[in-house]
């Protein structure tokens, strides 16, 4: 069992790295990865630039702890901002991480996944079209190893008037072309949308396109680490997945589930 999507106090998580380690030790984990938010515009929920060095140092220390019963990886959840690819690449290269989750949290500067009140004034159809376009741009940028919560635009339970199948198919094709991994992110189950990211239909389409998958809880507190993972692994198996992706120094390999 691996959990590659965990936030700490350094971004918008509530707990320290140490508290997360203690919690993970209670489960039968093989690997965990810290993936605090990094964003070029430095919103309050992302790691401050002054904390880049302390973050690297903290992970280095943890990796040196001999008696941990699981591997620890250094990941980040990096915001995709269109037309700023070069700057994003520079930040990623400097941090020397094991893996990068690329996430879309902004549409035309609007931080849609933290602001449920503004959906009421928008065209939900356009939001979905715009979101999926950004998702594909983030995929083909070549900047990321993993696509974060691929259909997070559904978070607050607003859905378009059209069927999403075609957008899922286009996205899955772009994932395959970019040779990128998606995560099955379990946090959506506790949100108004009340399902994993991606949805079962989207996940099935990704499997058909042979898109590899990894697993993340998107925990913002230690107690949420590996939340709903039994359900997630059952879904992956039922969809036909037999292995999940892991990373080291941005090299990908697979473990059986």
The residue ranges that bind Zn ion (CB under 5 A) are: 77, 103, 218
Smallest distance from the beta carbon of 218 to Zn ion, in angstroms?
A: 4
Complex with Zn ion: residue 77 or 98, whichever CB lies closer:
77
Smallest distance from the beta carbon of 185 to Zn ion, in angstroms?
A: 8
Closest to 8 (Cα-Cα) out of 222, 255, 246: 222
Complex with Zn ion: residue 103 or 174, whichever CB lies closer:
103
Output the CA torsion 124→128→129→132 (10° steps). 170
Smallest distance from the beta carbon of 67 to Zn ion, in angstroms?
A: 28
- Measure the CA–CA gap between 61 and 65, rounded to whole angstroms: 7
Smallest distance from the beta carbon of 240 to Zn ion, in angstroms?
A: 26
Q: What is the DSSP string of 142-168?
A: S--SEE-STTGGGTTS---SS-SHHHH
Complex with Zn ion: residue 21 or 76, whichever CB lies closer:
76
- Measure the CA–CA gap between 221 and 212, rounded to whole angstroms: 27
Smallest distance from the beta carbon of 5 to Zn ion, in angstroms?
A: 6
- Measure the CA–CA gap between 103 and 99, rounded to whole angstroms: 13
**Contact between residue 24 and residue 73 where contact means Cβ atoms under 8 Å apart:** no
Complex with Zn ion: residue 35 or 174, whichever CB lies closer:
35
User: CA of 251: how far to CAs of 12, 170, 237, in Å?
Assistant: 27, 26, 24
Complex with Zn ion: residue 130 or 218, whichever CB lies closer:
218
Smallest distance from the beta carbon of 220 to Zn ion, in angstroms?
A: 8
Complex with Zn ion: residue 41 or 123, whichever CB lies closer:
41
**Contact between residue 181 and residue 99 where contact means Cβ atoms under 8 Å apart:** no
User: CA of 236: how far to CAs of 103, 123, 199, 211, 214, in Å?
Assistant: 21, 33, 12, 12, 10
């Amino acid at each position: 069992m691996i959990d590659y999507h965990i936030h700490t106090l350094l971004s918008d998580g509530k707990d320290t790295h140490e508290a997360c380690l203690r919690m993970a030790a209670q489960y039968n984990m093989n690997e965990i990865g810290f993936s605090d938010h990094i964003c070029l515009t430095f919103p309050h929920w992302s790691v401050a630039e002054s904390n880049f060095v302390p973050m690297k140092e903290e992970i280095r220390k943890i990796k040196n702890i001999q008696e941990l019963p699981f591997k620890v990886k250094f990941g980040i959840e990096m915001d995709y901002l269109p037309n700023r690819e070069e700057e994003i690449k520079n930040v990623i290269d400097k941090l020397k991480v094991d893996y990068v989750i690329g996430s879309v949290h902004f549409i035309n500067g609007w931080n849609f996944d933290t602001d449920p009140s503004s959906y009421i004034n928008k065209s939900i159809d356009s939001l979905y079209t715009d979101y999926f376009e950004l998702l594909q741009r983030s995929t083909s940028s070549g900047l990321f190893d993993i696509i974060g919560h691929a259909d997070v635009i559904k978070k607050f339970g607003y859905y378009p008037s059209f069927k999403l199948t075609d957008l899922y198919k286009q996205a899955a094709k772009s994932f395959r072309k970019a040779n990128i991994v998606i995560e099955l992110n379990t946090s959506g189950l506790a949100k108004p949308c009340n399902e994993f990211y991606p949805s079962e239909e989207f996940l099935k389409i990704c499997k058909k396109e042979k898109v590899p998958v990894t697993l993340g809880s998107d925990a913002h507190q230690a107690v949420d680490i590996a939340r709903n993972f039994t359900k997630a692994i059952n879904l992956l198996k039922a969809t036909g997945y037999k292995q999940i992706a892991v990373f080291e120094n941005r090299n990908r390999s697979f473990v059986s589930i």
